[in-house]
Amino acid sequence: DVDIDIAALRERALRSLTTARDRTTLLTSCVEGPDLTAQHSPLMSPLVWDLAHIGNQEELWLLRNVGGREAMRPEIDSLYDAFEHPRSERPSLPLLPPAEARQYAAEVRGRALDLLDGAAFSGTRLTEAGFAFGMIAQHEQQHDETMLITHQLRKGPQALTAPDPEPAPPFTGPAEVLVPGGPFTMGTSTEPWALDNERPAHRREVASYWIDTTPVTNGRYLAFIEDGGYEQERWWAPEGWAHIRQHAISAPQFWHREGGQWLRRRFGITEVVPPEEPVLHVSWYEADAYARWAGRRLPTEAEWEKAARHHPGENRSRRYPWGDADPAPAHANLGQRHLRPAPAGSYPQGESPLGVRQLIGDVWEWTASDFEPYPGFAAFPYKEYSEVFFGPEYKVLRGGSFAVDQVACRGTFRNWDYPIRRQIFSGFRTARSAAETV
């Protein structure tokens, strides 16, 4: 159970909002104006849209809904409503120019912090335990990850730098871990800032399975490529096969072969693909095909969460693989501290009780599961956060990536995307049912 200490929550809200804004500021000031207003990919918004949208959502939820204030600029609301304008349309809208967008977001933030000072952390579900403040910090951090994806797609020289993760000794542990069958608690009813799709906590029965100790590496993925994985229909789901044929896909996004070597482009630099690093920028179809080639399968979402949260000795679900403590740098690669995943086998202090590593951070992990509501789901505070996306067209990703801040990453956190998408910081690990033989 999570202790609800109001002073600590208020402090956490302030810290989370400030951390998010520092990152937003960096992501929107490390390139010049034209790079802020340009659309770098039809899949992405111009960076200046994300910036004002962050401010507009904060105004809507904190100033208007929690604070009861009047709209500051009602005429801009529709420009920044993600449902009114798909990403492809956003560059042609009369958006606030960079300086005005920055000014607007800063003004909203000033008023939001005034409100935080005196806010009651109770009374309504929106104010309970500072939920609205936590939701808005998570929203900004989710857009900070989105903006980092835009930076990755942007052509041109390097604009962002960060130190590399610590080099790790080669991982010598077992390749897979047995998770004994039996029920466990999935989802949460106690995590104060958990979003609607993570709720409520409920029992899930899971049969025994084996799961990879680490995410699948570039080196392992290269074996699939070199074995002709992209040329053999039998490994692919039919829609995946059609997709890679139509788009001539034969390697992860941002990879190319040159002079007998595999290279990749990463935030404006070109480098040799590091074999020990978790594979990044693969679609669900690619992950699924690799798993089939390897004689395995993707874990279900329940299998992923049981591996990440269930403590067999204590027979309960915890917040993170390492326990209930908030993430520290020794646990996981989070928060854009590094601009790449850490080598497979890193972060021994972040491993689960059964020894599974890097479940949190590094790369989002595709699961076998469609994005569906848990039994007892109730949309909150708006049905466009999760509810409108439920169904078979989206696959669930778990665990967060190096680009996610800890406020938007926990053992119960659920992300989702189309199975063809791979501009996101996506990788995977594989599993197999214990009843089967390899």
Nearest distance from residue 357's CB to ligand AVJ, in Å? 24
CA distance 358 to 340: 13
Beta bridge partners of 204: 184
User: What is the pattern of x (binds ligand AVJ, CB under 6 A) and - over residues 337-376?
Assistant: ----------------------------------------
Q: Is 144 annotated as a binding residue?
A: no
- For residue 395, state whether it binds ligand AVJ (rule: CB under 6 A): no
Q: Which of 28, 150, 213, 415 binds ligand AVJ (CB under 6 A)?
A: 415
Please indicate if the annotation marks 340 as binding a ligand. Answer: no
Give the separation between CA 434 and CA 206, rounded to whole angstroms. 11
| Closest distance to ligand AVJ from the beta carbon of 195 (Å) | 9
Q: Which residues within the stretch 100-159 sit at the binding site for ligand AVJ (CB under 6 A)?
A: 139, 142-143, 146
Shortest gap between Cβ of 358 and ligand AVJ (angstroms)? 20
- 357's CB contacts (< 8 A; 6+ apart) are 171, 173, 213, 214, 344, 345, 346, 347, 348, 350, 351
The annotation status of 256 as a binding-site residue, yes or no, is: no
User: Cβ closer to ligand AVJ: 23 or 139?
Assistant: 139
The residues in 176-215 that bind ligand AVJ, with binding defined as CB under 6 A, are none
The site for ligand AVJ, by CB under 6 A, has a size of 7
> Is 432 a known ligand-binding residue?
no
Nearer to ligand AVJ, 184 or 416 (CB): 416
Closest approach of ligand AVJ to the CB of residue 409, in Å: 12
Q: Which of 119, 144, 106 is nearest to 11 (CA)?
A: 119
User: Is 428 among the residues that bind ligand AVJ (CB under 6 A)?
Assistant: no
User: Closer CB to ligand AVJ, residue 143 or residue 340?
Assistant: 143
Q: Does 416 bind ligand AVJ (CB under 6 A)?
A: yes
Question: Which CB atom, from 64 or from 87, has the smaller least distance to ligand AVJ?
Answer: 87
Sign (positive or negative) of CA dihedral 112, 59, 394, 219: negative
User: Between residues 53 and 102, which has the closer beta carbon with respect to ligand AVJ?
Assistant: 53
Residue 139 marked in a binding site: yes
Nearer residue to ligand AVJ within complex by CB, 415 or 426: 415
> Is 208 annotated among the ligand-binding residues?
no
Minimal distance in Å, beta carbon 418 to ligand AVJ? 10
Regarding 309 and contact with ligand AVJ (CB under 6 A), the answer is no
Residues at the binding site for gamma-L-glutamyl-L-cysteine are 87-90, 417, 421
Residue numbers at the binding site for ligand AVJ (CB under 6 A) = 139, 142-143, 146, 385, 415-416
